[in-house]
Amino acid sequence: MSVLSKESSKVNTIVSREMKKYLRLCLFLGAAFMSSSALALAQTEDELRRKLELLEARIAELEGRLENQEAQDVRGKGHHGGVNLKRSPSSGVAHPAFAQTEAEPRKSEAKEIKEANGAHMKGHAEGGWQAAHDKDHGFDKEKFHGGVTLKQDAFFGFQTILDAGYEVADNIDFTFYSWLWTSPNFGRSRVVAGPNGMQVDAGGNGLWTEVGMGLNFRLFNDTLSINPQFGILNGALLSSRIVGRGIRAGEGIVPSITFNYDNGFFTGQAYLAYYAAIRDERARDFIHNWINIGVKPALFNFKNVPINSVGVHWEHLRFHVDRIEGNPGTVYNWIGPYVEFALPMHLALRFAAGADLKGEVSNEFYQASIKMHF
């Protein structure tokens, strides 16, 4: 019995020893599992953190590009119709679609955004314009701006205007334009037989074509701009005794100056140009000028209104020098209200109408313009 008891005690000791080994093994495996799980969790957290940082960096990059694009869109729009302009002689569209408000960056703020985000891209030429840092062979396309205006009024008929500008220094732009006049009354004339005998009939050749360039000076954070320009006239209107008798390149010159004001609540434009004949008979000179003053919806705290401005438009054309018959005088003297609508895709529609105070061409006038900015 004592032998059996001793054997049983030995077995219990062995079992106890093995149980302890088993328990230590279980504890070891459990600890190893927990540590591996913690390590895997830490690695997963690190990986998620890195992915989050990459995502945040990507979002910041996209926001920077968007701000740069918005800053480029609100850059002043050039001759014959832009805000903060450069030159906007055409009374057609005096301000860009979706006109600048206080919430939108002006040129100086746009420049800070571009510098902060390093948005200038370096690379190959694109449509004739090269990327920002390729200074030796191309232009910085972010400094280029312009627009195309389709315009029609009661006197000049249909006109197409291209205006553009390029920033050459802080607050100074080099501007250039082309103004295509399509009225056949300004073109080549011919003598034809009519019911009352021989008479002069205007044709469609030698239409008046104006091109020019100048400098635009932007002041007070683009609130005021002053744009003197010098143009060359080509065609058959100024030089000949009979309009259209001779078609000439460079038949006249046109020095002009445009003032633009825009502070987010009020807008205004004043334009003055002198059309001077310089060739052959130098038959006639003209003065063309206008002033328009308007208010913006922001002045009345109107929001989500597709209107750039409403106001008053005054325009005047004077036959200033008559070297043939010595009979100068006012051709027309228009005054009336205008409204300019903001349209999608950088478009603006402007319409003005009212009375002709001179009353010789007509007792009333109308004028419509559509401008696309680029």
Q: Where are the domains of the chain?
A: 74-373
pLDDT of residue 8: 60
Q: Angle CA(350)–CA(356)–CA(360) in degrees, nearest 5?
A: 135
pLDDT of residue 131: 44
pLDDT of residue 193: 59
Q: Which backbone phi and psi does 169 adopt, to 5 degrees?
A: -160, 170
Rounded-to-5 percentages of helix, strand, coil across the chain: 25, 45, 30
> Per CATH, which fold does 74-373 belong to?
Porin (2.40.160)
> Model confidence at 190, in pLDDT bands (50, 70, 90)?
low
CA atoms within 13 A on the CB side of 251: 28
- Which range among 59-68, 280-289, 299-308 has the greatest average pLDDT? 280-289
**Of 110, 128, 207, whose CA–CA distance to 164 is shortest?**
128
Instruction: Give the amino acid at 261.
Output: Y
Strand partners of residue 165: 145, 175
Q: pLDDT for 108-132, tens place per residue?
A: 544 554 454 444 444 444 444 444 4
CA 112 to chain centre: 19
Strand partners of residue 248: 235
**Of 312, 307, 190, whose CA–CA distance to 244 is shortest?**
190
Cβ count near 344 (within 10 Å): 8
- Which range among 14-18, 43-47, 99-103, 212-216 has the greatest average pLDDT? 212-216
> Model confidence at 98, in pLDDT bands (50, 70, 90)?
very low
Q: pLDDT for 207-252, tens place per residue?
A: 889 999 999 999 999 999 999 999 999 988 888 777 767 788 999 9
Strand partners of residue 307: 341
Q: pLDDT for 202-215, tens place per residue?
A: 567 888 899 999 99
Q: Quote the mean pLDDT of the chain.
A: 77
Query: What is the distance between the alpha carbons of residues 95 and 350, in angstroms, rounded to a whole number?
Result: 9
Reply yes or no on whether the pLDDT at 162 is more than 90: yes
Reply yes or no on whether the pLDDT at 197 is more than 80: no
Query: What is the distance between the alpha carbons of residues 142 and 121, in angstroms, rounded to a whole number?
Result: 10
Query: What is the distance between the alpha carbons of residues 290 and 269, in angstroms, rounded to a whole number?
Result: 8
> Model confidence at 74, in pLDDT bands (50, 70, 90)?
very low
pLDDT of residue 294: 96
pLDDT of residue 188: 72
**Of 271, 360, 363, 343, whose CA–CA distance to 81 is shortest?**
271
- Span 259-273, mean pLDDT? 94
* Between 184 and 84, residue with greater pLDDT: 184
